[in-house]
């Protein structure tokens, strides 16, 4: 019996040892910090194929995630010192800023000084988004994604109308489309962020870029700016007038149901990032080849201070190099940023997918693509814009972005007034 007992004790101790051992392994197993092969995490869809090809050429170990999954995973990984060598971000704000503040990404300024083309080959407004406090931390890796007002040309011909140039035009179109049993605007309200595009454009058109700059700088009561109040009042007027398709808050963008409403002729207009074009092209090629898709910039607001060609959206996505990587990995990553990213075949591959890289002097290349008209339009839009406003949810701190999307959703639902919206958002300043 005593022998049995001792054996049991031994087994138990063995188990305990085994457990602690596996637990220890679990936390140090998938380490990305050592070794010589650089790694990279990027997003699925869109430009995934371009990334994959260039990773293979540069011998980089690439992994791909969905948008939300990536944002949550990368955070834990960076916090735990398990970050990949190349970090994918949206530029100045949110993620990138938190990495810079925590000293988790490498300052690329010395590399830029060594060979300025690392940054200077990009359009200045886009390259600028990778710069924080005068230092370069990130460089672009894919196409520009300005938000554009898409419209269905066929439906406009049917009611004999022209795309709106001013907000008043837009409001006048709403009853005309509704009478013809066509929803004026499609929007994926359930995903919340499409609603933000309206807010961003209206605030810029009414008050200019300074309004959001004050918000981003956490100035007290910045959300009470008259431009914000006016923009939100106009949004609620548009909701009241039946501007958005019925049940718009049940429509999610993940399944592209909002895009489908435009090309199936259920909705006349659609405010969305430039990536809607490849989506439509894939889902209904005839809609593009039959020249039924129109696109214009967001209408102006009478008396507004903002430039009519200011745009909002995502200037691009960016690569940063992890500060925790080994020297070998860092070197390989910087080499990749110099020669692997945005080389000739890389740019061609992006263009073939319908995204427009923010590289200087590619007009000739654009003319040779399958959709020269649209791609040149996007390129012109982005290169001429006096201000390319990064999406607010990327530019603000994650906590503020979450509160913003919630409050905006309630504003669209008319659960809160523009004044309440401003008060709620003012309360998040400094969080």
Partner 1 sequence: MDAPTIASEPVELGSKAVGRPGAGHPRTGPSPLMAVPALVFFGVFALLPLGGVVVLSLMRWDGIGDPSWTGFGNWVTTLSDPATYHAIWLSLQVMVVSWLFQTPVSLLLGVLLAGRGRYRAVLGVLYFLPLLLSAAAIAIAFKALLDPNFGMSRAFGVAALSQDWLGDPTLALYVVIFVIGWQFIPFHTLLYQAGVRQIPRQLYEAAEIDGAGRVRQFLSITLPQLRYTIITSSTLMLVGSLTYFDLVFVLTGGGPGDATRFLPLDMYLNGFSNNDMGRASTLAVLLVVAGLALSLGLARLAGFQRGSQLEGA
User: How, if at all, do strands 86-89 and 318-321 pair?
Assistant: antiparallel
- For the bound state, the minimum distance from the C-beta of residue 17 to partner 1, rounded and expressed in Å, comes to 10
Cα 50 to Cα 275, 340, 348, 421: the distances in Å are 15, 11, 9, 41
Count Cα neighbours of 84 within 13 Å in the Cβ-side half-sphere.
20
Interface residue with partner 1 among 352, 367, 413, 419 (CB under 8 A) is: 413
Query: What is the footprint of partner 1 within residues 18-77 (CB under 8 A)?
Result: 19-20, 23, 68, 71-72, 75-76
- Draw the binding track, 244-273, toward partner 1 (x: CB under 8 A; -: no contact): -xxxxxxxx-xx-x--xx----x-------
Task: Check residue 423 for interaction with partner 1 (CB under 8 A).
Answer: no
- For the bound state, the minimum distance from the C-beta of residue 322 to partner 1, rounded and expressed in Å, comes to 12
Helices (H), 188-317: 193-207, 209-216, 226-240, 257-263, 276-283, 285-289
Using alpha carbons only, give the angle 66, 402, 309 rounded to the nearest 5 degrees.
80
Cβ distance 117 to 340 under 8 Å? Answer: no
- For the bound state, the minimum distance from the C-beta of residue 26 to partner 1, rounded and expressed in Å, comes to 11
Interface residue with partner 1 among 44, 326, 410, 426 (CB under 8 A) is: 410
Task: Check residue 115 for interaction with partner 1 (CB under 8 A).
Answer: no
- For the bound state, the minimum distance from the C-beta of residue 203 to partner 1, rounded and expressed in Å, comes to 20
- For the bound state, the minimum distance from the C-beta of residue 253 to partner 1, rounded and expressed in Å, comes to 11
Task: Check residue 5 for interaction with partner 1 (CB under 8 A).
Answer: yes
Task: Check residue 399 for interaction with partner 1 (CB under 8 A).
Answer: yes
Cβ distance 430 to 218 under 8 Å? Answer: yes
DSSP string of 11-47, one letter each residue: HHHHHHHHHHHHHHHHHHTT--SSSSS-EEEEESSTT
Nearer Cβ to partner 1, position 212 or 421?
A: 421
DSSP helix/strand/coil, 61: strand
What is the distance between the alpha carbons of residues 309 and 387, in angstroms, rounded to a whole number?
8
What is the distance between the alpha carbons of residues 90 and 116, in angstroms, rounded to a whole number?
22
- For the bound state, the minimum distance from the C-beta of residue 269 to partner 1, rounded and expressed in Å, comes to 16
Nearer Cβ to partner 1, position 172 or 427?
A: 427
Nearer Cβ to partner 1, position 336 or 392?
A: 392
Task: Check residue 97 for interaction with partner 1 (CB under 8 A).
Answer: no
- For the bound state, the minimum distance from the C-beta of residue 279 to partner 1, rounded and expressed in Å, comes to 15
Strands lying side by side in the sheet with 39-43: 61-65, 39-43, 86-89, 318-321, 139-140
Of residues 365, 428, 361, the one with CA closest to residue 401 = 428
Task: Check residue 192 for interaction with partner 1 (CB under 8 A).
Answer: yes
Binding site for partner 1 (CB under 8 A): 1, 4-5, 8-9, 12-13, 15-16, 19-20, 23, 68, 71-72, 75-76, 78-79, 98-99, 101-102, 104, 189-192, 245-252, 254-255, 257, 260-261, 266, 398-399, 402, 406-407, 409-410, 413, 415
């Amino acid at each position: 019996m005593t022998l049995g007992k001792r054996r049991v004790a031994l087994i138990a101790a063995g188990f305990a040892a085994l457990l602690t051992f596996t637990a220890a392994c679990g936390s140090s197993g998938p380490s990305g910090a050592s070794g010589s092969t650089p790694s990279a995490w990027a997003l699925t869809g869109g430009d995934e194929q371009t990334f994959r090809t260039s990773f293979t050429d540069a011998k980089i170990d690439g992994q791909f995630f969905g948008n939300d999954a990536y944002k949550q995973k990368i955070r834990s990984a960076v916090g735990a010192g398990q970050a990949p060598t190349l970090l994918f971000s949206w530029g100045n704000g949110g993620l990138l800023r938190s990495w810079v503040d925590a000293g988790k990404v490498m300052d690329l300024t010395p590399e830029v000084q060594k060979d300025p083309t690392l940054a200077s080959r990009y359009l200045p407004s886009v390259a600028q988004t990778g710069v924080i406090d005068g230092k370069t931390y990130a460089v672009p890796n894919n196409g520009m994604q300005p938000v554009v007002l898409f419209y269905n040309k066929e439906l406009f011909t049917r009611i004999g109308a022209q795309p709106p140039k001013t907000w008043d035009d837009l409001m006048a179109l709403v009853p005309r489309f509704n009478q013809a049993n066509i929803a004026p605007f499609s929007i994926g309200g359930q995903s919340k962020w499409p609603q933000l595009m309206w807010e961003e454009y209206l605030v810029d058109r009414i008050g200019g870029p300074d309004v959001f700059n004050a918000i981003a700088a956490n100035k007290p009561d910045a959300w009470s700016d008259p431009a914000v109040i006016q923009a939100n009042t106009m949004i609620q007027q548009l909701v009241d007038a039946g501007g958005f398709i019925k049940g718009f808050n049940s429509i999610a963008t993940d399944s592209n149901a909002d895009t489908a409403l435009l090309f199936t002729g259920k909705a006349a207009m659609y405010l969305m990032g430039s990536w809607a074009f490849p989506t439509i092209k894939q889902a209904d090629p005839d809609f593009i080849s039959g020249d039924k898709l129109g696109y214009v910039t967001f209408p102006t607001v009478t008396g507004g201070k903002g430039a009519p060609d200011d745009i909002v959206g995502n200037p691009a996505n960016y690569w940063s190099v992890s500060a925790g990587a080994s020297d070998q990995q860092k070197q390989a990553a910087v080499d990749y940023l110099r020669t692997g990213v945005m080389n000739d075949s890389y740019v061609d591959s992006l263009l073939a997918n319908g995204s427009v890289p923010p590289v200087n002097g590619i007009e000739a290349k654009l003319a040779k693509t399958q959709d020269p008209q649209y791609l040149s339009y996007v390129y012109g839009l982005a290169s001429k814009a006096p201000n390319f406003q990064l999406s607010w949810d990327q530019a603000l701190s994650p906590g503020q972005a979450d509160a913003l999307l919630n409050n905006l959703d309630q504003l669209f639902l008319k659960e809160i007034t523009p004044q309440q919206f401003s008060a709620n958002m003012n309360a998040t300043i400094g969080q």
